[in-house]
Amino acid sequence: MSPAAVLRPWWRSKRSPRRWGFNIRGDRRAATTSHPRRNLVDCRRVTIGSRHQRTTSWIRDRISQGHMMAFTRRTIGLAALGAPFIFTGSAQAQTIPLKRLVVPFLAGGALDLVGRLLADALGPATGGRVVVENIGGAGAMLGIANVANSPADGTTAGVATASTLITNKYLFARMLYDPDKDLTAITRIATGTILCVVNARRAEERGWKTFRDLVAWGKANPGKINFGSSGLGQTSHLMQGLLNARCGTAMVHVPYRGGAPAIADLMSGNIDVMFDTMAALLPNVAAGTFRALAVASAERQPFLPDVPGMKEFADLKLADIDIQTWFAVAVPAATPAPIVAEYHKAVVAAVATPRYGERMTPAGLMAVTDPSPAALKDLIKRENPFWEELVRVSGTRLD
């Protein structure tokens, strides 16, 4: 089945974000960082269920008639990403004090999507007011350092990755935070597969029909392939180092402050290839702008059954690679245990909501949680050796 066929129920539906006037590749206007209040979602003002409020009755009537309503820029942030902003039922009592959810990349990428969907799903537990703040840079360290240095009162949390919680400490000579001492990881909220894509036009020009074609061309033309990544030390960066080390491709690394600007440059042909999450790349694969050559997992994936996994590249010394990315919620390490427990309960409940999971699946992501913060801590401990070895094999080290 083609990528377009897989995506069509979501990609072309009347409820598609594109049909709402939103560019699915990332609308900066809907997720700007220059004015945090534009990212504010005030669900208490539009809560459905009160018969004493003419405004909410009108909203309910309009929705029941199948009409869409025009929203102000102030509330469009989450709606632009396909997340609901009106919660069914009465406003619920606040159970966690979350006010700021920090995403350590610029708006428009997969992590930004997951963060905004989570902030929306947490509405009942937070009283409906959460500001999603994008703080990108320094391999996502700036955003996570901001979380680590925030007051440990539960008002600030961050969306972290395996890179920010594990890999960075093996990559960077100087860290802006200690992931083991300065943060408490609460639970994972999504997992996904890493996909290798190339600019389709460039692929036609250079004959890159398969992943092996790309590697062979790179070996024959050292330094002539520009490899984009979502940031220094991210999984996409490590994959570039791994290919250079094991396959002798000598690709040139071009780091960005998040996946969205890298994808934009891949579309325009300023870079040639990149690894990123399926969530970020599938729309352009379906549109024919990108050509998918491989997935970083060992096996092929249901979303792209015709795209080979790393297990099929034993001749390129890549058969042992099996990478799945994951995202998690983290708070400052000194956050009191009762608040951490309430956070875990609220986040698990949010991830379990049908709408959250429905938005994950078309993007090539899977909603997932851990039974406790201690369980996630054990997972991180088990994964440390793998990521340390990947950094070593890739030959990547940053000052």
| pLDDT score recorded for residue 53 | 38
Give the CATH number of the domain where residue 304 resides. Answer: 3.40.190.10
Same domain, 21 and 69: yes
Based on the domain organization, do 284 and 183 belong to the same domain?
no
Distance CA(243)–CA(258), nearest Å, equals 21
Residue 237 lies inside a defined structural domain of this protein: yes
Give dist(CA 48, CA 62) in Å, integer.
Answer: 12
In the three-class reduction of DSSP (H, G, I as helix; E, B as strand; rest coil), residue 23 is classed as coil
Q: Are residues 22 and 125 both part of a single domain?
A: yes
Residue 393 lies in a domain: no
Residue 89 covered by a domain: yes
Q: Are residues 301 and 345 in the same domain?
A: no
Q: Please give the DSSP secondary-structure letter assigned to residue 21.
A: T
Query: Which pLDDT score is estimated for 209?
Result: 97
Residues 178 and 224 in one domain: no
Asked if residue 292 and residue 363 are part of one domain, the reply reads no
Same structural domain for residues 22 and 159? Answer: yes
At residue 14, does pLDDT exceed 70? no
How far apart are the C-alpha atoms of 217 and 226, rounded to whole Å? Answer: 12
Least confident range from 4-18, 101-115, 156-170, 297-311: namely 4-18
- pLDDT 10s digits, 335-377: 999 999 999 999 999 999 999 988 888 777 889 999 999 999 9
Give domain status of residue 101, yes or no: yes
Q: Are residues 282 and 340 in the same domain?
A: no
Q: Residues 179, 169: contact at Cβ < 8 Å?
A: yes
User: In this structure, are 276 and 312 located in the same domain?
Assistant: yes
Using a pLDDT cut of 90, give the percent of the chain over it.
54
Helix extents (H) in 181-220: 200-206, 211-220
Q: Judge whether 15 lies within some domain.
A: yes
Tell me if 396 is assigned to some domain. Answer: no
Q: Give me the number of domains the chain comprises.
A: 2
Distances 215 to 63, 212, 273, 334, 335 between C-alpha atoms, Å: 52, 5, 11, 47, 47
Residue 281 within any structural domain of the chain = yes
Residue 325: is its pLDDT beyond 70?
Answer: yes
Q: 272, 299, 323: which is the final residue of a domain?
A: 323
How crowded is the C-beta side of 286, counted as CA atoms within 13 Å? 23
Beta carbons of 116 and 81 less than 8 angstroms apart: yes
Residues in the chain: 399
Average of per-residue pLDDT values in the chain: 80
Q: Kindly report the CATH number assigned to the domain that includes residue 351.
A: 3.40.190.150
For residue 276 the two structure tokens come to 């990123």
Decide if 395 is inside a domain. Answer: no
- Asked whether residue 173 falls in the same domain as residue 205, the answer is no
pTM: 0.68
pLDDT digits (tens, 9 = 90+) for 209-223: 999 999 999 999 999
Do 259 and 151 fall within a single domain?
no
Q: Which of 299, 323, 347 is the last residue of a domain?
A: 323
Q: What amino acid is encoded at 21 in this protein?
A: G
Beta-bridge mates of residue 193: 324
| Residue 379 C-beta-side C-alpha neighbours within 13 Å | 18
Q: Which amino acid is at 202?
A: R
pLDDT range class, residue 92, cuts 50, 70, 90: low
Residues 199-258 have pLDDT tens digits of: 999 999 999 999 999 999 999 999 999 999 988 778 888 888 889 999 999 999 999 888
At 310, list the tokens: 């790393």
Query: Domain containing 274: what range?
Result: 193-323
What amino acid is encoded at 330 in this protein?
A
